[in-house]
Structure 1
């Protein structure tokens, strides 16, 4: 609203200046053609209605300026002045028409983009709903079977309390797994930028390593940090980016935790190119097969025996909310590389 008021203030002030210049000078050029610049100003932030009002106003001022040149004598004819007026009116009308067309075209494009986004959202929701049904129905179904088994053990004569207790314990574990899936969904859907600011990515990476220092020491992992010599700044939610780094680094640690060799190396790199800050997290674990490489960011997809497949899905949501990208690739000779690209403050402000 404030920007719109400023545009109209600028429009009025410039219109008065052009009208005055046109009315008091006798230059042999159609100064009123300058009115087209006003319409372009309104185009930057106005609606089709605003542009139409601006165009009509400019036409009225052009005619008024010509009328003043005739001394407000409607019978007095000025051929040169009339030609200038006609040229100006044609220019104003043409720019007004084209500007309105531009506004309508942009509105149509936004509508098409919104429709495409809604379609993709519906597809994603359907896919997620299918995954949710699958992931929750499994533990709930197993819990129901455990409860039925416990009842059968209790109905026996004599009742087998040991087997009934074991079945009830299994039902409890399956119920807890279903609850974990629901909690993961809640975290997955709660990604939003609530506290945006500019910060140094290197500082955040050191904090993430410090946060996971116990796990790193426990699994005897060697950490190598090859950071860009200059400060690389990111504009975003610091807490979310920290969670992103912790998720990705923790996954790398877990990938190497079962490696019996001493080749457990975690390498962190940062670089900058094309308005993007790149973060690489490299591990020397067993790696991921090529056919599964693109799936690791999907909800509920996991290669871990006890994993839920939520951590990397949340990581992708965080990166997407910052207009960035995340991808996985093979490390050589073994392991996985997770590459995160996030826009710098100058680029993200234009995103």
Structure 2
């Protein structure tokens, strides 16, 4: 006997929408029979937030329009209190309904983008016979997807406050959209890299790219008690490389550096990032951590695929980084730090016309 598992879900959705309609009726009655000073219409925002998980974007816009209409109609029917106070409260409620609807639509769009990125990852894994490709993408896309989840939870907390903190929620939604697009870009770049496609090279400011990566990573890194120190050459010329891929390498190096210091409690934990003009035609990036450095003999293998010293690592991060840097005409290497810790460096060619 076949069971229709979708029927209980549809029934639950119908009951939920019926409950929301009842709630709207209650809010309308409360807003109408109470004094102008009581802004009961503000509770329509809660209806919008719940409905955003149940109905389509078009239906949500129509529902928001209905809430605004009920707010105006209730104001016209109310006969108690100060008219000016009621007008101000009604306008505030209408604005809150509109903003909440906008944020709910943005959040749903961000979640859809994240789901699309994950679906693309699954499709690639099914059609390719190259197991390293799917593993590589999963490794590199993990950070932006984790950031999406963190920002989504933060957005939900801001919206659940009474009253909702709409400015903070909007900022969280913008971070979600940015990370969703970054995940999609990473998937496309890694897939193209494994298929022999040339990087999407352009002229860009390496220092600005570094600042963007640090802004994304700083909160998580500092939560581990690690400080980030930047020493960037302000007169650095532009480089010629794939910006998304280079930022992918920098993110991986920052994460590796923070993981290298995770078990150190009695030692100052610091990541130093430097940029400088290293030769007439190249720019050099350096990242230095204060961890335990390299094990004996390991420095010769750290860029080998599937070679790792981490208990939960898969040994692809640095191998992918080397492939990316070399595909962009650069070089990557590691060095021992005399004061302990590790140093990773890579060089990139200057953009045309910027050679010294």
Question: Larger radius of gyration, structure 1 or 2?
Answer: 1
TM interval, short-chain normalised: 0.3 to 0.5
Please give the TM-score of this superposition, normalised by the length of structure 2. 0.44
